[in-house]
Amino acid sequence: MKVIPVAVVAIVLAGCASYSGRGLVPGQSSAGQVEAVMGPAADKRPGPNGETVLWFPRMPYGDGTYAARVGADGRLIAVEQRLTEENIAKLERGKTTADQVLDLVGPPYRVDQFSRMQREIWTYKMQVFPFPKALFVQFSPDRVVREVYYMDDPEIPRLGAGHRASFRR
């Protein structure tokens, strides 16, 4: 009977180890090995110099979005966390295009259409200590960024937020 709990723990630990691509070796691991370890890529986009970027978003409950850069030879170059405050700061209103957003931070968690506003809003979720964050990127019909909002995730309730404590004596 002790074999079953040990097997369950081993499977859970293996899943955690592969979550961010741990164990993959740049220059040695193939694109197939990347997907075997990290799961199927949510998106594949061309990168510079014949590279292919495999996207692994871990939203809404994970810690962001990983980009596995694979060279023209089919070998892993690097696995990078792309949904970062540094990359968010590179999004420029009126300049950055939807394709550039995809290349920088990857596919969104959710896409919402607001036809009366003539806006499409991409939502990204981030687990940032101490409170989860949300990134909202608004695009106009020409697929150019119009607004960028990075804030505490409004869908996550805070202890005591919006409620008055009432005590009976």
Using CA atoms, how far apart are residues 64 and 149, in angstroms rounded to an integer? 16
Q: What would the two tokens of residue 6 be?
A: 């040990």
Please tell me the pTM assigned to this model: 0.80
User: Per-residue confidence at 156, pLDDT binned at 50, 70, 90?
Assistant: confident
Residue located via tokens 């970027």: 53
> What residue spans of the chain are helical by DSSP H?
3-18, 31-38, 85-88, 98-105
Using CA atoms, how far apart are residues 83 and 41, in angstroms rounded to an integer? 16
User: Per-residue confidence at 131, pLDDT binned at 50, 70, 90?
Assistant: confident
67-119 tens-digit pLDDT: 999 999 999 999 999 999 999 999 999 999 999 999 999 999 999 999 999 99
Residue 2, pLDDT score: 54
Q: What is the mean pLDDT of residues 42-56?
A: 96
**CB under 8 Å to 67, separation ≥6 — which residues?**
53, 54, 55, 56, 79, 80, 82, 106
Residue 162, pLDDT score: 52
Which class does domain 23-152 fall in? alpha beta
Q: What is the mean pLDDT of residues 48-58?
A: 95
Residue 9, pLDDT score: 41
